[in-house]
Amino acid sequence: MPNFSLAGSTALVTGSSQGIGFALAHGLHAAGAQVVFHGKDTAAPQLPAGSIYLAEDLAEPEGPARLVRAAFAQRPELNLLVCNAGSFFDVPFLEMQPEPWEKTINLNVRGSYFTAQAFARELVARTRAGAIVTTCSTNGFQPEDDSTAYDISKGAMVMLTRTLAQSLAPHHIRVNGIAPGLIRTPLNAGLLDAAKIRHYEKKILLGRLGEPDDCAGAVVFLLSPAARYITGQILVVDGGLTLGQIGRM
């Protein structure tokens, strides 16, 4: 269906040098969009033809605004944004200190909020419609052991998605989110031993851990004309992880 095509659109995907963001950016390109990749490090990943890469630290106060300015300078026709950048810095709650807490909130929440704001300001100034997708998490609905700061940041991302959808609707900018479940990424590679994988495979209804590519179709859909009447929604992409109470024995 042509409604699912992103041909003629240009997207900025934050945190797209690896993991879920890398897969999302490649998925948008496969759907026809021009893509601006982003990462903290200056070394660029393997890019599809015609794509560009921008390095910026979104945890810095002016990082989001700098990134958006640079993206529009390179691609003035930009009309789509994926706020995906985020990370995990948790320790057990009783050991948490202000530094890792603030590092989590600054990157996962503040960075997304002000990236979306800078992007929306550019679209409003150009009287251009657009769409934003945020990367939330099933951790925004269900807590996990030793993950308090991350869980709180992802809960905040759920509400960020909904409140920005309300704020930006008058400007014809849709805002939706995805909530990935347990996806194999460099972020969790060291945390998943064989026993944990077997446990999760019994808990996940589809019987396997997710791969980054499993998230791409949901983002393509939410950014595409096929979702033109959808805003403020969170699409869970977890293979059924959060649906059943107990899982298979």
- Hey, how many other C-beta atoms are within 10 angstroms of the C-beta on 234? 20
Q: State the angle between helix axes of 111-125 and 63-74 in degrees (0 to 180), rounded to the nearest 10.
A: 40
Q: In terms of Cα–Cα distance, which of 164, 152, 162 is closest to 86?
A: 152
Nearest-angstrom CA–CA distance, 125 and 197: 48
User: Which active-site residues does the annotation give?
Assistant: 137, 150, 154
Nearest-angstrom CA–CA distance, 173 and 196: 41
Beta-ladder partners of 236 = 179
Give the tokens for residue 170. 């008058």
3-state secondary structure of 105: helix
